Amino acid sequence: MKEYTLIIKGEMDFIIISPQVLSSLIAQIHNSPERKVVVSIESIMPPKFTDYLLRVINSNRFTNERFRYHYILENPVTKKGLYEILRQQLSSTNTERFPCFQTIRLTDTFRGNVELDMECNALFFWPAKILPRSLSIRSRMADRKHW
């Protein structure tokens, strides 16, 4: 069985994409008939996990540089900011050498929910579509000396 590696490229930011969030996203992509996928954020990131992340980020925002997220100006970080962090990190996710997504946007629904409107690259979509069990989700901290 072929193993696929997903890499979240970025600076030194704290990664909020847990293996469970990524697994839920891949499951929804697997069930999609096409590469354009719309996913409710709450369906991949449960509200209790969102609340937990907000507490962790806001508690550490000014004491640890990994929680600063230079593209989020609001203080304290709200759900809207957290969803932007998620979007940025998913945008920086690669399958070995290629980006997982061609486009990824946050959209608000009429019911007040937030969705990820994305188009997967073929090199990510087809393994998720055809071989979902081959996408093993593990996290690895690479050379993190200041944590």
SS (H, E, C) 110-124: CCCCEEEEEEECHHH
Residue whose token pair is 């193993």: 3
pLDDT at 1: 60
Average pLDDT of the chain is 86
Coil vs helix vs strand at 45: coil
Q: What is the mean pLDDT of residues 87-111?
A: 92
93-95: strand order across its sheet: 6-8, 93-95, 98-99
pLDDT at 3: 72
Q: What is the mean pLDDT of residues 94-104?
A: 90
pLDDT at 131: 63
Specify whether the CB–CB gap between 8 and 93 falls below 8 A: yes
Q: What is the mean pLDDT of residues 123-134?
A: 76
Higher pLDDT, 39 or 129: 39
Specify whether the CB–CB gap between 61 and 81 falls below 8 A: no
Over residues 78-98, the pLDDT tens digits come to: 999 999 999 999 999 988 778
In angstroms, the first-to-last Cα distance of the chain is 34
Higher pLDDT, 127 or 79: 79
pTM: 0.87
Over residues 48-67, the pLDDT tens digits come to: 999 999 999 999 999 999 99
Q: What is the mean pLDDT of residues 2-26?
A: 84
Q: Give the integer Cα–Cα distance in Å for 138 and 135.
A: 10
Higher pLDDT, 23 or 105: 105
Judge whether residue 16 has pLDDT over 90: yes
Residue whose token pair is 């990510």: 124
